[in-house]
Every structure is written in structure tokens, then in C-alpha cells.
């Protein structure tokens, strides 16, 4: 079991402090305070120090805690800042960030180890063949994993059911000086089932499913009920050799061991490597904030 965090060489993101159900983060030039239910400990810095550093603070609203809904609310501006701005991920790609009504800003920084894994896997597979590896990114959000794969040389299909985030991802591609990513706005499970029927294969699969969601035609997604079916379908479209798969799970109560067992049960035991663990962020004071679990497989 591995525990991973973003490299210290990534200068455009930092978790400054965490505690009392909040986190103090810097994205590029701007510092913000956001809710974090996993930060059960005390802050190291004082409330006054947090307020002095922060440009904005997210305040949860009426949607907080409702099943199937993310934390909705508003941003309380403490200092002047832009509504949208751009950060770099090393020399690989750029991401346009913005303040949303659901506390997100357009990137999940703890995912950086997955981006690095995707990049390495694509390059290793591409080195042994003439054609670019075909990679499918499901529940793809604003596209950091898609950009990591594309920069490494993959033929990328990016799928999400929300048109606005696909538009956001396309803007990130253009900001990063890339092109030729295939964009699909559709229910992920419906698309994968169709790919099974068509007999299409991919050499890379990335899945970052939400706890709850809806497809473009109102299809209902509930992680507990749909995940294993999705993984069994994915097992049928992942190439048996020279391929990789990344499964990331945010849902509270899901463990790394659970992710590992799900993947072994769905994909079988024919793999070169299979690792599982947690993705974390560490603040300046060494407090480790666990944010997701991951299972990664190479065939």
C-alpha cells in the first residue's frame, strides 16, 4: 500500500495549513479557505493568521449535507483577486481555475501523482509501438488527467456528462498548446457498454467517479450500486497487454483495500503490477490530509 502526495517541485499549489474542518490553500498567486470535513484536528496557525493570508473564503449554504449534492455556498472575498486565473503543472500543462458555487476551483491537486503515473505509463507503452496508445478518461472533469496523457503522446478520449466542464477542459487543452483530444458529453456507463458491444479496446483507462451523479439523459449514477458494473465493463475494453488503468475514489468510507479488491474482482489477476493506496496533501506543519484512495494497474 502506497501513500503519495504532489511533488514539492510543483510550485503553483501548496496546502499551507489545515484543521477545524477547513484547509488553507494557495493556488498560484491566490490563497483561499475551503471546508474540509476530514481535517478533524486543530489548526496550527491562528484564525487571524488565516484571515490575513486568504484572498477568499468559501461559506457553505443550504445544499450542504444533502444526499447527491456537493457543498453549495458562496465565496466571501477578503482581498482583491481575479475570478479566473491560470496555474501551471510543472512544464506539462496549464489549468484555468475559477471560483464555483460548489467550493471547487477546477483542479484536485492531490491527483498529481496520478497524472505522473499516467504520463509514465503512456510513454512506456508508446515506446514499443508505432501508433499512439488509445486512452479513455471517464468522469473526466476539467481534464488534468486527459492533458497528462495527451502531453505524453496518447490518443485521448475525454468523457463527462456535464457540458460546462467539458468546455472548461477544452479551454485547458488550448491554454496548454495541445489539440486533437476527442470530447464526448454522455453518461459514462452507457458509453462504456456501447464500446463493449463495438469491441473497441483502449490501452489506458482513467476513472474518477463521483458518489452521485446524473447522465445527459437523466441516467442515475450511485457509486455503491454502479461502480462494480462499470469496472466489469471496463475490463472488457482494456487491452490485455501493454495497457494501464487508474481508479480514483473520493467517497467517504471507501478504503484503499476496497478499491484493490474491486479491481482484482473485475479485471482478474493477469497484470504486471497492481498498487493501491491513498493520495494525501501535507501542510507546512506536516499534518497529512487524506483525500482519496486509488488503485492503479499495468498489464
Distance from C-alpha of 1 to C-alpha of 3, rounded to nearest angstrom: 7
For the domain that residue 17 is a member of, what is the CATH number? 2.60.40.1180
- The tens digit of pLDDT for each residue in 86-140 reads 999 988 899 999 999 989 999 999 999 999 999 999 999 999 899 999 999 999 9
Quick one: cell of 271? 497484470
Nearest Cα to Cα of residue 56 among 36, 29, 37, 38: 29
**Statement: residue 211 has pLDDT above 60:** yes
Distance from C-alpha of 286 to C-alpha of 288, rounded to nearest angstrom: 6
Distance from C-alpha of 221 to C-alpha of 249, rounded to nearest angstrom: 14
pLDDT at site 68 = 46
Domain boundary among 98, 124, 143: 98
Distance from C-alpha of 46 to C-alpha of 101, rounded to nearest angstrom: 26
Task: Give me the number of domains the chain comprises.
Answer: 2
Whether 104 maps to a domain, the answer reads no
Query: Which of 62-71, 158-167, 182-191 has the lowest average pLDDT?
Result: 62-71
Domain check: are 56 and 113 in the same one? Answer: no
pLDDT at site 213 = 79
Domain boundary among 57, 75, 98: 98
Domain check: are 40 and 122 in the same one? Answer: no
Domain check: are 180 and 248 in the same one? Answer: yes
Domain check: are 133 and 230 in the same one? Answer: yes
Count other Cβ atoms within 10 Å, centred on residue 177.
Answer: 9
Domain boundary among 78, 98, 118: 98
Distance from C-alpha of 159 to C-alpha of 148, rounded to nearest angstrom: 15
Whether 103 maps to a domain, the answer reads no
Task: Write out the residue range of the structural domain in which residue 228 sits.
Answer: 109-298
**Percent of the chain with pLDDT strictly greater than 90:** 87
Mean pLDDT over all residues of the chain? 94
Domain check: are 80 and 202 in the same one? Answer: no
- CA distances 153 to 118, 129, 168, Å, are 11, 12, 21
Amino acid at each position: 500500500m502506497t501513500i503519495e502526495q504532489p511533488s514539492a517541485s510543483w510550485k503553483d499549489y501548496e496546502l499551507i495549513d489545515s484543521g477545524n474542518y477547513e484547509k488553507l490553500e494557495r493556488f498560484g498567486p491566490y490563497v483561499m479557505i475551503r471546508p474540509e470535513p476530514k481535517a478533524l484536528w486543530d489548526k496550527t496557525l491562528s484564525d487571524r493568521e488565516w484571515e490575513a493570508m486568504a484572498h477568499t473564503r468559501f461559506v457553505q449554504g443550504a445544499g450542504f449535507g444533502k444526499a447527491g449534492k456537493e457543498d453549495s455556498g458562496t465565496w466571501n472575498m477578503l482581498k482583491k483577486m481575479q475570478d479566473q486565473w491560470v496555474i501551471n503543472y510543472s512544464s506539462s500543462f496549464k489549468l484555468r481555475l475559477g471560483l464555483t458555487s460548489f467550493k471547487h476551483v477546477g483542479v484536485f491537486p492531490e491527483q498529481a501523482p496520478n497524472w505522473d503515473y499516467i504520463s509514465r505509463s503512456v510513454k512506456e507503452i508508446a515506446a514499443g509501438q508505432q501508433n499512439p496508445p488509445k486512452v479513455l478518461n471517464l468522469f473526466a472533469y476539467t481534464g488534468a488527467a486527459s492533458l497528462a496523457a495527451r502531453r505524453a503522446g496518447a490518443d485521448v478520449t475525454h468523457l463527462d456528462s456535464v457540458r460546462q466542464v467539458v468546455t472548461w477542459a477544452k479551454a485547458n487543452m488550448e491554454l496548454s498548446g495541445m489539440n486533437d483530444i476527442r470530447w464526448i458529453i454522455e453518461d459514462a456507463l452507457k458509453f462504456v457498454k456501447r464500446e463493449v458491444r463495438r469491441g473497441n479496446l483502449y490501452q489506458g483507462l482513467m476513472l474518477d467517479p463521483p458518489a452521485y451523479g446524473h447522465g445527459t439523459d437523466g441516467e442515475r449514477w450511485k457509486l455503491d450500486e454502479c461502480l462494480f458494473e462499470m469496472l466489469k465493463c471496463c475490463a472488457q475494453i482494456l487491452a490485455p497487454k501493454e495497457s494501464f488503468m487508474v481508479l480514483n475514489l473520493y467517497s467517504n468510507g471507501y478504503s484503499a483495500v476496497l478499491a484493490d479488491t474491486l479491481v482484482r474482482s473485475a479485471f482478474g489477476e493477469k497484470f504486471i503490477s497492481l498498487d493501491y493506496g491513498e493520495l494525501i496533501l501535507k501542510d507546512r506543519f506536516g499534518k497529512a490530509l487524506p483525500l482519496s484512495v486509488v488503485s492503479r494497474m499495468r498489464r
